[in-house]
Structure 1
Amino acid sequence: MEAFRQFPYKIQVASHECEYNKACKQQVETNSERGLREKVSDMATSCWLRFMILAVCLFFPALVQCRVRHYKFNVVMKNTTRLCSSKRIVTVNGRSPGPTLYAREDDTVLVKVVNHVKYNVSIHW
């Protein structure tokens, strides 16, 4: 008979466990919904970040490749001695031949030529 009296007690314990399990399930569902919201938020941030990286990658090469290169040429007469003879020659920035220009495809090259010689000078590339 005592075993029979303990039986309802065990059912109550089982019903407590069921209520506890229900509360746990609700908590898990709440956490999973919160996790889903966080995942969606992370996906939106990730998508926006990917778009920005793509935009930078597409437009950055255009900015890098199209440089404006500035050069200034001072054309002057200079005395030069070669093989024991002195001669006045036209130089660009004190050098003959003139300086090397460095440029890549699609670069804009601006050359300012200042002529300090008494006659006209033409420069060819």
Structure 2
Amino acid sequence: MVDLEKHMKKGLVERPTGAILAFADYTSKMPNMIKFTVGEPDFNTPEHIKKAAEKSIEDNHSHYAPSNGTLGLRKAASNFLAKKYDQHYDPETEIVATNGVTESIYDMLTAVLNPGDVMVIPTPIFPV
């Protein structure tokens, strides 16, 4: 097996674990802890989701999706919000799917802030 570390940038190999991952590891050792750290579920992927993923690959749905999410996903989100919360949004113009909350917050802030704007960030905050 090739020793990849000898081919990597020295500083990268010596880089310590990120603070959020270290904190998640630390809290994992606490009994009766409900963690809201890295978003890692405490259960395996359900079988129906695994099968849907396999079918999606077989149907060649393995390419980049639109940057705002597929229309099917946005429609499902719209239907969920309508049924659960009686909130109605147009999936074509009012719903965006992102790769997680960090991307969503970044997208929202870059859409409304301009150079020179001042923003107050309360703490504690989610470390990235």
Higher share of residues assigned strand: 1
Q: Which has the higher helix share?
A: 1
TM-score by shorter chain over 0.5? no
Higher relative contact order (CA 8 A, sep 6+): 1
TM (norm. structure 1) is 0.15
